[in-house]
Amino acid sequence: MNSTQTKHIRFGHSPDPDDAFMFYAFAYETIPMRGFKVTHVIEDIESLNQRALKNAELEVTAVSCHAYAYLADKYAVMRSGASIGEKYGPILVSRTANSSFDAHSIRGKKIAIPGKLTTAYLTLQIFQKDFQAVFIPFDKIMDAVKEGFVDFGLVIHEGQLTHASEGLHKVLDLGEWWHQTTGLPLPLGVDVIRKDLGKETMREFGLLFKESIEHSLKHRQPALDYAIQYGRGLNPELNDKFVGMYVNDRTVEIGTDGEAGFRRLLDEGYKKGIIPKPVSIEFVS
């Protein structure tokens, strides 16, 4: 890239501590930006999914791995920035504990879902397709369960750590189930870049984003201090724990088993008739 030419990148990410932690270096430009000017577009993940699907207007955006099944023609996946559950992931909660819970326990039940294109929804359908989905904003799901509006809630983000304090019981961890079933980690979200930017720009920005994540990991406390503003009431200890769950070595580089988990997820979705056609995942190289 010509060093005198500024490349403007609109980067969509969700208002969550893990995303904010990765963006700390971009927000304050504490690393050399290498000719890029990054503008943050902050929306919840399902809104970013739908925005990418509608017109692919953002040059770079976070999306659910499920959503990528419908975006592969326009976007490639950056190897850095993935949110991957290692034997943990979205959880199913209820008002009462159920030690005998299995796939039959949710047949015909009403379940609050945080979005049609979320990976949580795809993974739950792979687990069991026969339930009534009720689509509710992710931050309203636990209230819907407590109020009896639904039988179960599919919880993502910090609710994975705070559900017990809300008086709810975890009956299923989809990341744990996925690992037991496949032996692989569960990729939940990735950061993608528009293919029409060209291979050089795609590669250079991918490397810059990797530097941003590495910078935050090396300067953890100031990055956590920046991220906690998006924690929706998380205390510093839980903020640190949540960021640690989803920003780690796998976020710096998705790795071969992360790639394998991503491919297996979309393949299983296709085999179950959830995703309409096979998906070829293109990674930035």
56 neighbors 262 (Cβ within 8 angstroms): no
Which residue matches tokens 């710096």?
252
For position 138, what pLDDT does the model report? 82
- 266 in Cβ contact with 275 (< 8 Å): yes
pLDDT tens readout for residues 10-20 = 999 988 888 99
Q: What is the pLDDT of residue 230?
A: 85
Question: Which of the four pLDDT bands, split at 50, 70 and 90, describes residue 284?
Answer: very high
The candidate with the shortest Cα–Cα distance to 84, out of 180, 190, 163, 158, is: 190
Cross-strand pairs, 10: 39
Tokens of 253: 């580089």
d(CA 168, CA 152): 10
The pLDDT of 41-63, averaged and rounded, is: 95
pTM of the full predicted structure? Answer: 0.91
CA distance 29 to 8: 14
Per-residue pLDDT, 161: 67
Distance, CA of 97 to CA of 106 (rounded, Å): 14
Adjacent-strand bridge partners of 61: 12, 192
The CATH code that applies to domain 91-182 is 3.40.190.10
- How does strand 132-135 pair with strand 110-113? parallel
- For residue 1, the SS3 value is coil
Give residue 66's pLDDT: 98
Q: Compute the average pLDDT of residues 159-178.
A: 84
- % the chain with pLDDT above 70: 96
The 3-state secondary structure of 161-221 reads HHCHHHCCEEEEEHHHHHHHHHCCCEEEEEEEEEHHHCHHHHHHHHHHHHHHHHHHHHCHH
Q: Does residue 3 have a pLDDT over 60?
A: no
Please check the confidence at residue 6 and state whether its pLDDT lies above 80.
Answer: yes
Task: Supply the pLDDT for residue 158.
Answer: 62
Kindly tell me if the per-residue pLDDT of 233 is higher than 90: no
Q: Is 5 exposed, middle or buried (0-12, 13-18, 19+ CB in 10 A)?
A: exposed
Query: How confident is residue 239, by pLDDT bands cut at 50, 70 and 90?
Result: confident
Listed residue (269, 213, 255) closest to 86, CA to CA: 255
**Looking at the predicted structure, is the pLDDT value of residue 157 above 80?**
no
Cα–Cα dist 229/232, whole Å: 7
Q: Indicate whether 1 pLDDT > 70.
A: no
Which of 121, 177, 172, 158 is CA-nearest to residue 240? 158
Locate 142 and state its tokens.
Answer: 């636990």
Lowest-confidence pick of 72-81, 85-94, 254-263, 274-283: 85-94
Q: How far is CA 183 from the centre of its chain?
A: 20
Mean pLDDT over each residue of the chain, to the nearest integer: 92
HSE (CB half, 13 Å, CA atoms) of 171? 23
The CATH topology of domain 7-84+186-271 is D-Maltodextrin-Binding Protein; domain 2 (3.40.190)
Q: Which regions of the chain carry the CATH code 3.40.190.10? A: 7-84+186-271, 91-182
By annotation, the residues acting in catalysis are: 157
First to last CA, the chain: 16
pLDDT at 244 over 90: no
**In terms of Cα–Cα distance, which of 166, 175, 170 is closest to 153?**
170
Higher pLDDT, 166 or 21: 21
